[in-house]
Amino acid sequence: MEDLAAKQECASAFDAHHAPSNEIIEKCVHCGFCLPVCPTYVLWGQEMDSPRGRIYLMKMASEGATEMNSNWVSHFDSCLGCMACTTACPSGVDYGKLIEATRAQIERKTERSRGDKLHRRFMFETFTQPDRLRQMRFPLLVYQKSGLQAVVRELGLLRLLPKKMQAMEALLPKLRPREAVAEVTPAVGTKRRRVGLLLGCVQREFFSQVNAATVRVLAAEGCEVVAPLAQPCCGALLVHAGEEAAAVELAKRTIDAFERANVETIVTNAAGCGSNMKEYGHLLRDEPEYAERARAFAAKCKDVSEVLTEMEPRAKRNTLKLRVAFHDSCHLQHAQGVRLQPRALLSSIPGLELAEIPEAAICCGSAGIFNLVQPDAANALGDRKAQLIGPLKADVVATGNPGCVLQMQSALARRGQKTPVVHTIQILDASIRGESSESLLR
């Protein structure tokens, strides 16, 4: 028996550390129900760029029928990790676990080009470090405010840069003054809960107004909000890119920070971070000191829309005359199964009209670092989404993930559409504070 196991392990292209589970692979009955919602299959119509095809490629590698060569890897690099296939699958194939394990194998066992390595290192060492992002704010502010950005864009100078750099520039949000969040914000009125808030990395530095709005709304609804100063990046970007060891370390530090805060619930307002933290039990399953704590931590994590819809509304909602197109972030709708809650929050606002975007199951092309490493496919998906938003004549687009905000702002701008894209919580915050609709349209 042992000989057979050793032979199989030898035959497999995967190493023994968390190889994609054969049990999950075998659950796929090749029915193809997942194909119409898979963004890469929708774009290219190629079986190997569909969930079913990718699972087949994993099976082949697991049986030693293929090597992890560059062609094989390319089909996984092109996967957005959007999890639309998981939602669509009637057989319960947990594709999320498969792609996460496959990507970690790719990063351990294959060699990327020098350019790719440098690009990835830059992203991981920047986007997971709020301090570094903060240092970038000043030069970027100068770039935007001096008018240099407008000139560079107008003259088409960006075309001189490599495509991946162009993608990064195109996604740059309009920087606003940084709004600080206190480490502890008291509840308004009688305290109903003590919650922790994950500040995120890009969210903290480039969308601090979203964190500020989240704190105000939670406090208005009776939550004491703790935002631990020592919290690191949650590691979502790294997990989704196969950088398992680094992600494990960040997950441990995140757990440490929130355990010290002694909160009942840990609130996230970035769907990618939320879906990652809800999976800490799986990520840290081999860590004796953390496995149990990670499961307890994960059970406490909730998207802000989940927390708010669990509580009877206390703060008055003021009228906002707005037509809002709601965009489901993949890591909220597919990875966390949160669809109704953000819609319920928006629908609770008098005067607000909700518009549904067709093809809601299909990703906008953001998907973690996807729009930075696969800019052509990401732009095609963004353009498709923007095209569907156009006829809705919405005043504003709402969503629950900073990556989707950036991706859709950029896609709408390419179409010459000025519709602002905001986080759902900013609309609720504006309603509770009695602000005008115009405050959201600036």
- Shortest distance, position 237 Cβ to ligand SF4, whole Å: 16
Are 251 and 244 in contact by the 8 Å Cβ rule? The answer is no
* 33 lies in the site for ligand SF4, by CB under 6 A: yes
* 352 lies in the site for ligand SF4, by CB under 6 A: no
Cα gap 130→136, rounded to integer Å: 10
Q: Say whether 394 sits in a helix, a strand or coil.
A: coil
Name the CA radius of gyration of the chain, rounded. Answer: 22
* 240 lies in the site for ligand SF4, by CB under 6 A: no
- Shortest distance, position 77 Cβ to ligand SF4, whole Å: 11
Q: Identify residues 66-125 at the interface with ligand SF4 (CB under 6 A).
A: 79-85, 88-89, 91, 93, 95
* 30 lies in the site for ligand SF4, by CB under 6 A: yes
Stretch that binds ligand SF4, among 37-45, 186-194, 417-425, 433-441 (CB under 6 A): 37-45
Classify strands 193-197 and 223-226 as parallel, antiparallel or unpaired. parallel
Burial class (CB in 10 A: 0-12, 13-18, 19+), 273: buried
Are 214 and 185 in contact by the 8 Å Cβ rule? The answer is no
Cα gap 391→59, rounded to integer Å: 43
Cα gap 91→24, rounded to integer Å: 10
- Shortest distance, position 80 Cβ to ligand SF4, whole Å: 4
Cα gap 80→92, rounded to integer Å: 19
Which residues, in sequence order, are bridge partners of residue 423? 399
- Shortest distance, position 84 Cβ to ligand SF4, whole Å: 4
- Which C-beta is closer to ligand SF4: that of 58 or that of 80? 80
Out of 5, 6, 11, 31, the only residue in the binding site for ligand SF4 (CB under 6 A) is: 31
* 373 lies in the site for ligand SF4, by CB under 6 A: no
Out of 39, 232, 242, 382, the only residue in the binding site for ligand SF4 (CB under 6 A) is: 39
- Shortest distance, position 378 Cβ to ligand SF4, whole Å: 12
- Which C-beta is closer to ligand SF4: that of 59 or that of 134? 59
Q: Say whether 398 sits in a helix, a strand or coil.
A: strand
Binding stretches for ligand SF4 (CB under 6 A)? 28-34, 37-40, 51-52, 54-55, 79-85, 88-89, 91, 93, 95
